Chains A and B, each alone.
Chain A
Amino acid sequence: MDKLTLDRRRLFAGTGLLGAGALLAACTSNEPDAAPVASTQAVSSGGNDAAGQEVVIGFSAPAADHGWIGAITTKAEEEAKKYPDVDFQAVEGSNDVNQQISQVETLISRKVNVLVILPFDGNALTEVGIKAMEAGIQVINLDRVFSSPRGARTWIGGDNYGMGAAAGYYLAQQLTAKGVKDPVIAEVQGIADLPLTQDRSKGFEEALATAGFKVSNKVSAQFTVESGQQVTSNLLQAAPKLDGLWNHDDDQGLGVLAAIEQAGRDEFIMVGGAGSKNMMDLIKADSGVMKATVTYPPSMAASAVKLARLVGQKKGMSDLVELGVPASITLTSETITKENVDEYLSLGFES
């Protein structure tokens, strides 16, 4: 085990950010021989990975009751373990904003150097972010955005609008290529009242509009397999014939697919969201409706921990000429199809 960790560490020293995430995912996945593709070429890291001054990183995220959030927490922990100069202090995940605020306050009073916060609700956690910043603790805001930039030193996260747009463009392009006129397109959202859901839907609608298409049926689930199954079984009754379907979330996607299979439907193409390993396997097999998924990679948590370490050590990002870490980093949402799925398989997370 020690030898393995050492080897891994040696491999990592010298790979870029993305490469590190990819390898990490490969190590956590259950596929024994998943060869990391397109990530093993050594990129000069400019010595940022070399041991430096000790940094205490506090970490707070929602409860890991969902494949994606679960992957966020494990990826953050595993990234931190790779650096002997990082003391990683994670608090128990919570979906109660009040409890998350108290937990962050505890981390502040423990005087950690840098905080990584994935808020359950960005608006609700902003004040405690500002409190930390004013107490001299640098905050890395992960994914769900604070309502004030004063709450964080740096924001890193996914692109919800871009995710919807990527799904919309893909469907528009596929259906146009097939020569479909007036397609019936359905959308299975996650929790409808979260801003991230609304951004995803907006991107989807606007990208479809470029081809003159619109969403005909929209339902919302709760990010769970059961809710995905339940709303989709009704949705399929509402639309006896479909041309395309976008499901916002690959975790609830297992339920969406179960409903589709039970209804015996296969006349349409389906696009997923987030990039779970289950969905990537299905895309690779290309045996059903599942043709693509748009990424929202949980590896962003590993990146956030790396950024927190750099901020704590007052280092910059060596591929930029700037002296410090930038204030905001938005990850791109990429479209995974049969053609490129092999490159991404190692990044997929288990639902």
Chain B
Amino acid sequence: MSVEQSTAPPVAPGNRPGVLARMRGTEIRNLGLVAVLAVLVVIGAATSENFLTGDNLENILVSSSVIGVVIVGATFVIIGGGIDLSVGAIVALASVWATTLATQSYGPWMMALCALLVGAGAGLINGLLIAYGKLVPFIVTLAMMVTARGLAARIADNRTQLVTEQPIKDLAKSDVLGIPLLVIILAVVAIAGWVLLNRTTFGRRVFAIGGNEEAARLAGIDVRLNTALLYVLSGSCCGIAAIMLLARTTTGSSTHGNLYELDAIAAIIIGGTLLSGGRGTIVGSILGVLVFTVITNIFILNNLATETQNIAKGLIIVAAVLLQRRANRS
């Protein structure tokens, strides 16, 4: 029941229904998001001649890439029935740790490794406390959020640390066959996430744990180990995002990743993932991020005040959730 695949209605052989009826609920919802995106693209193109330029579309994708990577990891956690409020703070901590003089003097690879290890390590602490310490995810990750940001500020001594390694800075400007490297990183992480979620035993266990933890345990799943792994995965994604942010901003700072936790939850929810766990898709979450990035872009292209933008975002979240409830009932 909890597994996504099982929500598809059984189809009697020889009685092939129409295309829409054959699609699963999540795919219909993703189609709805694609429709929303299409409407936004039409609005963007109609209100600004600069919207449909290659440069601008590239800008939208690159802008989505950092938070996009964070969201892939956070989607796993939410499908698994948990929540990770510490993603923004872990991004900040990983960025600051990677830009300390000690790590910068060993070059770009050491910086990247450092960011990854800090992200995975913070995720591991979250995971151990939640899975083996039996503490509530909300509380543990809230504590991590405050602690990691404090630690980041302490390490950086409240300064913004400049990235001195040119290879890291070049990440933001490089492309492969015209596609920006940051966008490729997001694509790789998203595809890896999709495969892990939909084509592996681990993925099926995540759905099972999120749907009904007790049933999953009775079915012989090591709930604790798999739950802990979810947070390690989320933290590792934050580490990757931190490396990308180092390139984008050419700095490490304790203010990086500000409010990522809320942006992530908003995008994941409008992407059709249930906050109570057990159901969700990576594609939906990525589409959710794109919706928000396109709105920001349209607002700035049209020189509109950014406060109004937040109202628009809020309304979209409510509308998306209302639509999902209708879709679920029918």
Same complex? yes
**Which residues of A approach B to under 8 Å, CB–CB?**
64-67, 69-70, 192-193, 216-220, 222, 224-231, 233-238, 240, 251, 254-255, 257-258, 261-263, 278, 350-351
- Bound Cα distance A233, B63 (Å): 8
- Please give me the 9 A-B residue pairs with the lowest Cβ-Cβ distance, nearest first: A234-B300, A224-B255, A70-B158, A237-B56, A351-B160, A64-B158, A238-B301, A258-B250, A225-B249
The answer to whether A229 and B50 touch (CB under 8 A), given A219-B306, A238-B300, A262-B173, is no
Cβ-defined partner of A226 (8 Å) among B48, B59, B245, B297 = B245
Which chain A positions have C-beta within 8 A of B249?
A: 225-226, 228-229, 254-255, 258
Say if the beta carbon of B117 comes within 8 Å of chain A.
no
Cβ-defined partner of B153 (8 Å) among A65, A67, A257 = A65
- Bound Cα distance A278, B172 (Å): 21
Interface flags for B153-195 (1: CB within 8 Å of A; 0: not) read: 1000111101000000000110000000000000000000000
* Contact (Cβ within 8 A) B251 A350: no
Of the listed residues B253, B254, B256, the one surrounded by the most CB atoms of chain A closer than 10 A to its CB is B253
Q: Smallest CB–CB gap between A185 and chain B, Å?
A: 12
* Contact (Cβ within 8 A) A226 B158: no
* Contact (Cβ within 8 A) A66 B307: no
Which chain B positions have C-beta within 8 A of A230?
A: 63, 296
* Contact (Cβ within 8 A) A225 B256: yes
30 contacting pairs across A/B (C-beta < 8 A): A64-B153, A65-B153, A192-B305, A192-B306, A192-B307, A217-B300, A220-B306, A222-B255, A224-B253, A225-B249, A226-B249, A227-B258, A229-B249, A230-B63, A230-B296, A231-B306, A234-B296, A234-B301, A237-B59, A237-B297, A237-B300, A238-B48, A238-B301, A238-B303, A251-B160, A254-B250, A258-B248, A258-B249, A258-B250, A351-B159
Which chain A positions have C-beta within 8 A of B50?
A: 237-238, 240
* Contact (Cβ within 8 A) B255 A225: yes
- Bound Cα distance A230, B257 (Å): 12
- Bound Cα distance A237, B300 (Å): 9
- List 4 additional contacts besides A237-B56, A254-B249, A351-B160; criterion CB under 8 Å: A226-B258, A231-B306, A237-B55, A240-B53
Say if the beta carbon of B62 comes within 8 Å of chain A.
yes
Task: List the B residue with the shortest CB-CB distance to A219.
Answer: B300
Q: Smallest CB–CB gap between A274 and chain B, Å?
A: 13
Q: How many residues of B contact A (CB 8 A)?
A: 36
- Bound Cα distance A350, B251 (Å): 13
Which chain A positions have C-beta within 8 A of B256?
A: 224-226
Task: List the B residue with the shortest CB-CB distance to A229.
Answer: B249
Task: List the B residue with the shortest CB-CB distance to A351.
Answer: B160
Which chain A positions have C-beta within 8 A of B56?
A: 237
Cβ-defined partner of B158 (8 Å) among A65, A193, A217, A222 = A65
* Contact (Cβ within 8 A) A237 B53: yes
Q: Smallest CB–CB gap between A62 and chain B, Å?
A: 11
Q: Smallest CB–CB gap between B259 and chain A, Å?
A: 9
Which chain A positions have C-beta within 8 A of B251?
A: 225, 254-255, 258
Task: List the A residue with the shortest CB-CB distance to B149.
Answer: A65
Q: Smallest CB–CB gap between A304 and chain B, Å?
A: 19
**Which residues of B approach A to under 8 Å, CB–CB?**
48, 50, 53, 55-56, 59, 62-63, 153, 157-160, 162, 172-173, 245, 248-251, 253-258, 296-297, 300-303, 305-307
Q: Smallest CB–CB gap between A258 and chain B, Å?
A: 5
* Contact (Cβ within 8 A) B307 A193: yes
- Bound Cα distance A240, B55 (Å): 10
- Bound Cα distance A229, B248 (Å): 7
Which chain A positions have C-beta within 8 A of B296?
A: 230, 234
Which chain B positions have C-beta within 8 A of A192?
A: 305-307
The answer to whether A70 and B172 touch (CB under 8 A), given A225-B253, A237-B301, is no
Task: List the A residue with the shortest CB-CB distance to B254.
Answer: A65
Q: Smallest CB–CB gap between A132 and chain B, Å?
A: 27
Q: Smallest CB–CB gap between A253 and chain B, Å?
A: 10
Q: Smallest CB–CB gap between B93 and chain A, Å?
A: 14
* Contact (Cβ within 8 A) A278 B173: no
Of the listed residues B172, B254, B303, the one surrounded by the most CB atoms of chain A closer than 10 A to its CB is B303
Q: Smallest CB–CB gap between A270 and chain B, Å?
A: 16
- Bound Cα distance A254, B256 (Å): 13
* Contact (Cβ within 8 A) A70 B255: no
Which chain A positions have C-beta within 8 A of B257?
A: 226
Q: Smallest CB–CB gap between B1 and chain A, Å?
A: 41
Which chain A positions have C-beta within 8 A of B153?
A: 64-65
- Bound Cα distance A220, B300 (Å): 10
Of the listed residues A217, A228, A258, the one surrounded by the most CB atoms of chain B closer than 10 A to its CB is A258
The answer to whether A350 and B62 touch (CB under 8 A), given A192-B305, A222-B258, A234-B301, is no
- Bound Cα distance A47, B102 (Å): 46
Which chain B positions have C-beta within 8 A of A233?
A: 59, 62-63
* Contact (Cβ within 8 A) B160 A262: no
Which chain A positions have C-beta within 8 A of B53?
A: 237, 240
Q: Smallest CB–CB gap between A201 and chain B, Å?
A: 12
- Bound Cα distance A193, B305 (Å): 11
- Bound Cα distance A278, B251 (Å): 12
* Contact (Cβ within 8 A) A218 B307: no
* Contact (Cβ within 8 A) A231 B258: no
Q: Smallest CB–CB gap between A39 and chain B, Å?
A: 24
Q: Smallest CB–CB gap between A276 and chain B, Å?
A: 9
Task: List the B residue with the shortest CB-CB distance to A186.
Answer: B303
- Bound Cα distance A263, B245 (Å): 16
Which chain B positions have C-beta within 8 A of A228?
A: 249
Which chain A positions have C-beta within 8 A of B255?
A: 65-66, 222, 224-226
Q: Smallest CB–CB gap between A232 and chain B, Å?
A: 9
* Contact (Cβ within 8 A) A234 B159: no
Q: Smallest CB–CB gap between B169 and chain A, Å?
A: 8
Q: Smallest CB–CB gap between A217 and chain B, Å?
A: 5
* Contact (Cβ within 8 A) A70 B159: yes
* Contact (Cβ within 8 A) B300 A224: no
- Bound Cα distance A351, B156 (Å): 11
Task: List the B residue with the shortest CB-CB distance to A278.
Answer: B162
